[in-house]
């Protein structure tokens, strides 16, 4: 397959002027967000976005017109990849982005409202909202990172998501779909695109792609290759990540040398570099930008709490845990905090898919609203542990020194807030 030429920022026709209704929606949304911030109710983004959509249901489409938009979706790595891309693309111009992780329609609109004149937008999108948002935005690039089980009660079945993403890819003929070809699920979806851009970014969690998304037969694997009798098979990648080196089929080779740890972040970087390259940013420029990132919305940040040197890590589903476990300092005790509020998904059955057996022999504290469920799982994994529901107490129950604190979504958010305020 011959590579498509890079997209340039002026490839799109100039945006039509915003209608009065959209302009009014933007003004009132910005005012609402400012009031919300002043009252100490948070960043105000989501409420502002909600107001904008209530006043003008076409706000998403109208505010996207005339911009170069990249949508980033997948089960894991959305926030990190969107942050990486916004660093890379700021070399082209101002970037509107929902860096706070508000990835449903109101958060996406809020990001556009906050920077109405930014020529570029990098938007993380919740995978279940991607069809609706992509249909309105019609992005220049759609990044499909990976698909695996997550929040089964809210997001639903991986296979249904794949079918939905496949349908979206088929309806966006002008969109470059950047996909990890080591994940058979996103590959199946991206094959529906007229402009796929394949990145071999690796995939350690394969349990959700044992059978083919297209026909249900068993997917065969041999080294990095995979395929199915029906003809679905791993395409030749334009970009290949090998350890810390990213190679392009055009002969570019660069060392990532990120400050963010782990293979998952290297995979996110590979996808970000390939996407930015398609949009006209040199891979070397992007790689240099990515080396300046040291944390992602508090993840990997170290904080002090009563003499404990706490490193915050986020893991909210089995594939995320598979990437996080190898990052843990073997000398440090581990606090695991699990909540199950609406934003986490109420169903915690995923705990049984995480290989907690890897933590045997080291001190572990179970914390969070679902500490008891976690404790049962740790017991079956034969991991000796204590239970301390309040995360801060869990940390201080350990001796002074380094502590690895791994939490799912709201438990992470609360701990990050608390450690920042202390």
Q: Where are the alpha helices (DSSP H) in 11-120?
A: 20-38, 45-55, 59-64, 78-89, 105-114
Shortest spacing between CB 185 and Zn ion, in angstroms: 12
Nearer to Zn ion, 144 or 219 (CB): 219
Q: Dihedral through CA 287, CA 145, CA 45, CA 100, nearest 10?
A: -50
Shortest spacing between CB 219 and Zn ion, in angstroms: 7
Q: What is the 3-state secondary structure (H, E, C) of 325-388?
A: HHHCCCCCCEEEECCCCCCCCCCCHHHHHCCHHHHCCCCEEEECCCHHHHHHHHHHCCCCEEEC
Shortest spacing between CB 287 and Zn ion, in angstroms: 36
Nearer to Zn ion, 232 or 315 (CB): 232
Shortest spacing between CB 235 and Zn ion, in angstroms: 14
Residue numbers of the site for Zn ion (CB under 5 A)?
212, 214-215, 217, 228, 230, 232
Nearer to Zn ion, 194 or 217 (CB): 217
Nearer to Zn ion, 163 or 301 (CB): 163
Contact 140, 279 (CB under 8 A): yes
- 265, 262, 241: which is closest to 253 by C-alpha? 241
Output DSSP code: residue 310.
Answer: E
Shortest spacing between CB 180 and Zn ion, in angstroms: 18
Q: CA neighbours within 13 Å on the CB side: how many for 194?
A: 7
Output DSSP code: residue 9.
Answer: G
Nearer to Zn ion, 204 or 217 (CB): 217
Query: How far is it, in rounded angstroms, from Cα 188 to Cα 169?
Result: 10
Nearer to Zn ion, 210 or 376 (CB): 210
């Amino acid at each position: 397959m011959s590579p498509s030429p890079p997209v340039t920022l002026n490839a799109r026709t100039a945006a039509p002027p915003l209608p009065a209704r959209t302009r009014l929606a933007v003004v009132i949304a910005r005012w609402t967000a400012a009031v919300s911030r002043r009252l100490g109710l948070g960043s105000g983004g989501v409420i502002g976005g909600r107001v904008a959509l209530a006043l003008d249901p076409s706000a998403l489409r109208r505010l996207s017109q005339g911009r170069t938009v990249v949508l980033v979706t997948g089960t894991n790595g959305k926030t990190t990849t969107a942050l990486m891309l916004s660093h890379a693309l700021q070399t082209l111009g101002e970037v509107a982005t929902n860096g706070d992780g508000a990835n449903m329609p109101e958060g996406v609109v809020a990001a556009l409202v906050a920077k109405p004149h930014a020529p570029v937008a990098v938007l993380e999108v919740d995978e279940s909202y991607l069809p609706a948002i992509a249909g309105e935005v019609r992005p220049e690039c759609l990044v499909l990172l990976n698909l695996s089980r997550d929040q089964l009660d809210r997001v639903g079945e991986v296979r249904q998501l794949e079918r939905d993403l496949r349908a979206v890819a088929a309806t966006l003929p002008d969109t470059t779909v950047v996909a990890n070809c080591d994940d058979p699920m996103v590959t199946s979806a991206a094959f529906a695109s007229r402009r796929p851009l394949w990145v071999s970014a690796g995939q350690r969690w394969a349990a959700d792609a044992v059978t083919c998304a297209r026909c249900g037969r068993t997917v065969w694997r041999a080294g990095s290759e995979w395929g199915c009798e029906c003809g679905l098979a791993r395409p030749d990648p334009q970009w290949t990540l090998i350890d810390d080196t990213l190679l392009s089929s055009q002969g570019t080779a660069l060392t990532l040398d990120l400050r963010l740890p782990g293979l998952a972040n290297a995979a996110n970087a590979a996808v970000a570099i390939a996407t930015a390259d398609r949009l006209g940013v040199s891979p070397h420029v992007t790689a240099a930008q990515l080396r300046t990132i040291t944390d992602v919305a508090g993840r990997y940040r170290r904080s002090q709490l009563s003499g404990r040197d706490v490193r915050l890590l986020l893991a909210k589903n089995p594939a995320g845990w598979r990437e996080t476990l190898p990052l843990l300092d073997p000398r440090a005790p581990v606090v695991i905090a699990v909540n199950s509020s609406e934003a986490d998904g109420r169903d915690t059955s995923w705990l049984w898919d995480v290989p907690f057996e890897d933590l045997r022999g080291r001190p572990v504290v179970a914390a969070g609203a679902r500490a008891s469920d976690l404790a049962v799982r740790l017991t079956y994994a034969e991991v000796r542990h204590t239970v301390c529901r309040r995360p801060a107490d869990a940390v201080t129950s350990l001796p002074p020194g380094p502590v690895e604190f791994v939490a799912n979504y709201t438990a992470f958010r609360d701990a990050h807030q608390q450690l920042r305020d202390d």
